[in-house]
Amino acid sequence: MNQRFVVFVVVLLFVVGTFCISAAAQGTADQIKKMETDRAAAVVKGDLARLDKETSDDYTLINVNGQMTSKSQMLDGFKSGKTRLTTDDVSDMNVRVYGDVAVVTGKATVKGTLGGKDVDGQALFTRVYLKKAGQWQAVALQQTAISK
């Protein structure tokens, strides 16, 4: 009887632990989806302070036009007006969490100017986030235009 109780407790702890880990991952996924939606809104508003804070200094961006830029080049594009989006709506997001790394894939509907080139359409994207000092920051973004 005592051995059955120990097995029951071990199984119960395993199930509860698995549930807690799953719940934590879902909470992180929801947080990343919100960050992605808020980031898109910040792009449209031109909120450079938010973009700066939520973007790692070693960030790499490959946009729908195939241009690769760094964080400083991305921010400079907004400051100079070469990059200006009037629409940046994200949807169909899927987030996978691997400890302190999160990968989000989704679809974006964009309109405006990227790196001095007009853009109007949809793109699929993959963004990678890394948790640094307790805060999530974007470290990479790859966008691929969806053919019309």
Summarised one tens digit per residue, pLDDT across range 17-61 is: 554 454 455 699 999 999 999 999 999 999 999 999 999 999 999
Residue 114: pLDDT band by 50, 70, 90 thresholds? confident
**What is the domain-level CATH number for residue 126?**
3.10.450.50
Percentage of residues of the chain with pLDDT beyond 90: 73
State the average pLDDT over residues 54-74.
94
Strands, DSSP E only, in the chain?
55-62, 68-70, 84-98, 101-114, 117-132, 135-145
Better-scored residue on pLDDT, 21 or 126: 126
Single pTM value for the model: 0.81
Q: Total structural domains in the chain?
A: 1
Q: Which domain holds residue 65?
A: 2-145
